[in-house]
């Protein structure tokens, strides 16, 4: 545990000085301001404004994860071809897990700013359709539903390179809105990049009490359980991979 805490603190220090933290703070704030500025004169219904914003955020998040994880990987590569991580006096699993957790922690902060921040500004603009507690729940749901995507992006970045990881992130960003439609029925439950937009959309329908409540609740529960099971399997794969990782296959 002491080794993990030490590694985690080192990763936090590195992230702060790398500028990644500012990316996680500035982008959500800009997104909230842009959308709310447009919504201030848009004739859309309040419900449609919330749904569109959260679906857009759910689509963009997988791409942003790919970018941030890719930047983190590139920094390690440029700082001695991963020697800092390869030469640690403890398990490489600890090093990788602490880095993943720091990236995830910053991602959670970004999601909170983007979702709850939007809720606060919306309420100040007179939109009381959804409570702040519901926005908080939606933020947690969006983050948790992307944990599997974080691990996939991390493995691809550190094993095959930032370029391939970014390509995968873009594909994920394009797939997620498609799988949110009827095209994704029956398959979205096993596609990590689609979990966020689907689960958040279902949760919004449940909160706003639109559509067939029982059917939506059933679909949400099935998707959520599938997401949890696959995320646990991805965590097992991540731990196994990190233990055997040698950092030598990345050549870009």
pLDDT tens readout for residues 71-120? 888 888 877 777 777 776 677 888 889 999 999 999 999 999 999 999 99
Cα-Cα-Cα-Cα dihedral of 155, 240, 94, 108, to 10°? 50
pLDDT at 198: 94
How far apart are alpha carbons 42 and 127 in whole angstroms?
13
Q: How far is CA 199 from CA 34, 114, 202, 204, 235, in A?
A: 24, 17, 5, 9, 20
pLDDT at 6: 80
Q: Terminus-to-terminus CA distance in the chain, angstroms?
A: 35
Nearest to 184 by CA among 208, 201, 170: 201
Residue 207 lies in a domain: yes
pLDDT at 211: 67
pLDDT tens digits for the chain (252 residues)? 777 888 888 888 777 777 888 889 999 999 999 999 988 888 888 888 999 999 999 999 999 999 999 988 888 887 777 777 777 667 788 888 999 999 999 999 999 999 999 999 988 887 777 889 999 999 999 999 999 999 999 999 998 888 888 999 999 999 998 888 877 788 899 999 999 999 999 999 998 877 688 888 999 999 999 999 999 999 999 999 988 888 756 555
Residue 111 lies in a domain: yes
DSSP 247: S
User: What is the span of the domain harbouring residue 203?
Assistant: 2-244
pTM of the model: 0.92
pLDDT at 232: 97
Total domains in the chain come to 1
Residue 249 lies in a domain: no
Buried b (16+ CB within 10 A) or exposed e, 86-96: eeeeeebbbbb
pLDDT at 104: 94
Residue 230 lies in a domain: yes
Helix (H, G, I), strand (E, B) or coil at 122: helix
219 within 8 A of 195, measured Cβ to Cβ: no
How far apart are alpha carbons 99 and 153 in whole angstroms?
13
Residue 10 lies in a domain: yes
Quick one: three-class SS letters along 174-232? Answer: HHHHHHCCHHHCCCHHHCHHHHHHHHHHHHHHHHHCCCCHHHHHHHHHHHHHHHHHHHH
Residue 252 lies in a domain: no
How far apart are alpha carbons 19 and 74 in whole angstroms?
13
Other Cβ atoms less than 10 A from the Cβ of 225: the count is 11
Residue 76 lies in a domain: yes
Cβ-Cβ contacts under 8 Å for 182 (sequence gap 6 or more): none
Helix (H, G, I), strand (E, B) or coil at 45: coil
Residue 103 lies in a domain: yes
Half-sphere exposure of 22 (CA within 13 A, CB side): 5
Cα-Cα-Cα-Cα dihedral of 29, 132, 209, 185, to 10°? 40
Helix (H, G, I), strand (E, B) or coil at 92: helix
138 within 8 A of 199, measured Cβ to Cβ: no
pLDDT at 47: 87
């Amino acid at each position: 545990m002491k080794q993990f805490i030490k590694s985690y603190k080192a990763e936090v220090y590195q992230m702060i000085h790398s500028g990644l933290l500012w990316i996680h703070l500035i982008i959500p704030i800009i997104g909230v301001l842009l959308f709310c500025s447009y919504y201030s004169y848009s004739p859309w219904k309040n419900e449609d404004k919330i749904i569109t914003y959260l679906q857009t955020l759910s689509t963009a998040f997988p791409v942003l994860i790919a970018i941030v994880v890719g930047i983190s990987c590139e920094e390690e590569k440029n700082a001695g071809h991963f020697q800092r991580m390869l030469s640690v006096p403890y398990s490489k699993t600890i090093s990788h897990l602490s880095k993943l957790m720091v990236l995830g922690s910053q991602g959670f902060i970004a999601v909170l700013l983007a979702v709850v921040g939007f809720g606060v500004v919306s309420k100040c603009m007179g939109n009381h359709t959804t409570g702040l507690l519901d926005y908080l729940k939606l933020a947690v749901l969006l983050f948790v539903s992307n944990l599997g995507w974080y691990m996939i992006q991390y493995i691809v970045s550190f094993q095959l390179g930032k370029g391939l990881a970014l390509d995968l992130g873009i594909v994920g960003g394009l797939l997620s809105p498609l799988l949110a439609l009827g095209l994704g029925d029956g398959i979205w439950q096993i596609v990590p990049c689609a979990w966020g937009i689907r689960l958040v959309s279902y949760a919004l329908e449940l909160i706003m009490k639109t559509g067939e409540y029982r059917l939506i609740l059933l679909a949400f529960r099935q998707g959520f359980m599938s997401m949890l099971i696959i995320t646990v399997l991805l965590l097992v794969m991540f731990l196994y991979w990190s233990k055997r990782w040698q950092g030598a296959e990345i050549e870009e």
